[in-house]
Amino acid sequence: MPKTAKIVLIVVGTLAALAIGGGAFIGFGVYNIGADDHHTPLTLALIEQLRDRSIAARSSSIDAHYIEDPVRIAAGAKHYATLCVGCHMAPGVTKSEMRIGMYPRPPNLAQGELLQAQRAFWIIKHGIKMSAMPSWSKTLDDAAIWDVVAFVRKLPDMTPETYQQLSEHTP
């Protein structure tokens, strides 16, 4: 058999074996989709890369309408207290029955690093597939999402008293 024909046969054979293996892996339900069964370190690393590169590619060209204005921060706090705190915690809010069983676990935004504004806007607007993070574009318009961004950027330095004041105060 000529050399190229041999190579083609090996490549086709390998692809067919991979397709059959992949089909069997899915078809026989080998993969445990349960949220209490965590990914292997390799799968997790791949998913995190995929997520971060995807978000970076889509958020870097966003025009930041981020304004550090107390009125917008207060408006963002109201949305946050209604829509987000159960998953993302807040200063003085440290317990959530819903959050503990989630995988991936929603980050505690009161304890994290300062969020990059465009990235936060994109994530809040579009959500993240195969995680509990919803797309809020159906609930909040862009201006309201920028209010939330202005607010979440304040969270890491916020005291429980300020959070309570902001989230309760009605304008």
Give the span between the Cα atoms of 100 and 107, in whole angstroms.
11
Considering only 83, 126, 162, 164, the residue that binds ligand HEC (CB under 6 A) is 83
Considering only 73, 75, 110, 123, the residue that binds ligand HEC (CB under 6 A) is 123
How far CA 102 is from CA of 85, 96, 106, 112, 133, in Å, comes to: 14, 11, 7, 18, 10
**How many other CB atoms are there within 10 angstroms of residue 116's CB atom?**
17
Considering only 96, 107, 126, 156, the residue that binds ligand HEC (CB under 6 A) is 107
The reply on whether position 110 binds ligand HEC by CB under 6 A is: no
Q: Tokens 């936060």 belong to which residue?
A: 120
Q: How many residues bind ligand HEC (CB under 6 A)?
A: 25
Considering only 73, 77, 84, 117, the residue that binds ligand HEC (CB under 6 A) is 84
Amino acid code (one letter) for 107? P
Considering only 54, 58, 96, 104, the residue that binds ligand HEC (CB under 6 A) is 104
Range in contact with ligand HEC (rule: CB under 6 A) among 31-39, 59-67, 120-128, 158-166: 120-128
84 φ, ψ to 5°? -120, -30
Give the span between the Cα atoms of 45 and 107, in whole angstroms.
17
Shortest distance in whole angstroms from residue 32 CB to ligand HEC = 18
Torsion of CA 13, 14, 20, 23, to 10 degrees: -150
The reply on whether position 88 binds ligand HEC by CB under 6 A is: yes
Which residues of the chain form contacts with ligand HEC (CB under 6 A)? 51, 79-80, 83-84, 86-88, 102, 104, 106-107, 112, 115, 120, 123-124, 128, 131-134, 136, 148, 152
